[in-house]
Amino acid sequence: MFIGGISALLLQSLHPLAMAAVAEHSDYRGDPWGRLQRTSYFLAVTTFGREADARQAIAQVRAVHRRVTGTAADGRPYAASDPHLLTWVHIAETDSFLRAHSHFGTQPLDQAGRDGYVADMALIGAELGVPDPPRTEAELAGRIRAYQGELAATEQAREAARFLLLRPPLPPIARAPYGVLAAAAVSLLPGWARRPLRLPRLPVTETMLVRPAGHIMVQAIRWATTAPRPAPVA
């Protein structure tokens, strides 16, 4: 989720209207970890929580979306509740988390499992206002291709990428581990998404260094966040 989340933010930033909404209404620079905590809570409660709690979290997000409106630098109006923008954010997030699990998960999903994940995410997307969200991996890939013609890296998107990858507000001791996670996140992006953000593509380095280091870092996080097994009862 760490790697998939960073990759999703980079991919989502490529829609100029979605990025304008984030830049003008989100406090991601001033309170990035608070925003991450809120996003993590939403993902956790909609995935593992009770239905009533999940619906409450979704209702809160929809209420926030209704207040997020404005005009992008190119003069186009935007609204976070716009079904077209909601769809882009949803499919970029779903694709990024699926890619992250496929590359860094302990038990990669088979095709039926990947389709099942997309279908599960579609339930959340539909509740958030996404019309007819994709329900298979093939549908997800097709929907992302359909958006490519309207994607571009604005200066706001490049600034967000620099903040996420190069200038995160972290103490020095945490920068190296975070750098591994960030590099692993970039390695998941397709070439057409990297070029506008001016992110390099280094296949050999990524295969030989970045992804193995990402696996080690994910294993360390998994070990640190997994509760120990209860002691056997005598």
In this structure, is residue 230 part of a structural domain? Answer: no
Looking at residue 207, the DSSP 8-state letter turns out to be: I
Confidence of residue 231 (pLDDT cuts 50, 70, 90): low
* pLDDT of 203 over the 60 cut: no
Q: Is 51 exposed, middle or buried (0-12, 13-18, 19+ CB in 10 A)?
A: exposed
What's the rounded mean pLDDT across residues 78-91? 96
Task: State the average pLDDT for the chain.
Answer: 87
pLDDT at 204: 44
Task: Tell me the two tokens of residue 71.
Answer: 């005009």
In this structure, is residue 193 part of a structural domain? Answer: yes
* pLDDT of 232 over the 70 cut: no
pLDDT at 25: 87
What's the rounded mean pLDDT across residues 104-124? 94
Number of domains the chain is built from:
1
Strand partners, 70: 78
User: Does residue 198 come out as left (phi exceeding 0), alpha (psi in the -120 to 50 range) or beta?
Assistant: left
Strand partners, 78: 70
In this structure, is residue 138 part of a structural domain? Answer: yes
In this structure, is residue 99 part of a structural domain? Answer: yes
Radius of gyration of the chain (CA): 18
Could you tell me if 83 and 71 are in contact, meaning their C-beta atoms sit under 8 angstroms apart?
A: no
Angle at 8 between CA 176 and CA 98, to 5 degrees: 100
Which of the two residues, 227 and 19, has the higher pLDDT score? 19
What's the rounded mean pLDDT across residues 133-151? 97
In this structure, is residue 234 part of a structural domain? Answer: no
What's the rounded mean pLDDT across residues 120-133? 96
In this structure, is residue 232 part of a structural domain? Answer: no
* pLDDT of 202 over the 60 cut: no
Return the number of other C-beta atoms located less than 10 Å from residue 139's C-beta. Answer: 17
pLDDT at 90: 96
Lowest-confidence region among 13-17, 31-35, 111-115: 31-35
Could you tell me if 100 and 4 are in contact, meaning their C-beta atoms sit under 8 angstroms apart?
A: yes
pLDDT at 80: 94
Alpha helices in the chain (DSSP H): 2-12, 16-25, 32-48, 51-67, 83-104, 111-128, 137-147, 155-165, 172-188, 191-197, 203-205, 211-225
HSE at residue 200, side-chain half, CA atoms within 13 A, is 7
Residues spanned by the domain of 56: 2-225
The model's pLDDT over 145-178, given as tens digits with 9 standing for 90+, comes to 999 999 999 999 999 999 888 888 888 887 888 8
pLDDT at 131: 96
In this structure, is residue 74 part of a structural domain? Answer: yes
In this structure, is residue 131 part of a structural domain? Answer: yes
d(C-alpha 20, C-alpha 79), whole Å: 10
What's the rounded mean pLDDT across residues 63-77? 94
H/E element holding 71?
strand 69-71
